[in-house]
Amino acid sequence: MIDLDLIFDDDRQPTTAVVDPPAGIVSPDDLPTGWAIEWLERASIREYDGRQSRAAADRDAFREILARMRTAGEKC
């Protein structure tokens, strides 16, 4: 689930714990193609609509994608 309050208030800390990445995933560059596209889209939305800095948008979108990968049972 997307935390819209976090997107629009980047000083607020996430309410969910940081998810351990699947094996071999340490940066967005390591994401499978489909997930990398989703990460880029989420980061762009966070930066533009959420007015987050690029670094914060990239970081938070990466955490979001890792959580979604875990929920989907993605094995890497």
What are the angstrom distances between the C-alpha of 71 and each of 1, 22, 47, 55? Answer: 11, 11, 24, 24
Spell out the residues 6+ positions from residue 38 whose beta carbon is closer than 8 angstroms to its own.
Answer: 65, 68
Note the pTM of the prediction, 2 decimals. 0.69
Is there a contact between 46 and 52 (Cβ–Cβ < 8 Å)? yes
What is the percent of the chain where pLDDT is above 90? 53
What is the rounded CA–CA span in Å between residue 30 and residue 4?
26
Instruction: Please report which confidence band the pLDDT of residue 72 belongs to, taking 50, 70 and 90 as the band edges.
Output: confident
What is the rounded CA–CA span in Å between residue 56 and residue 28?
14
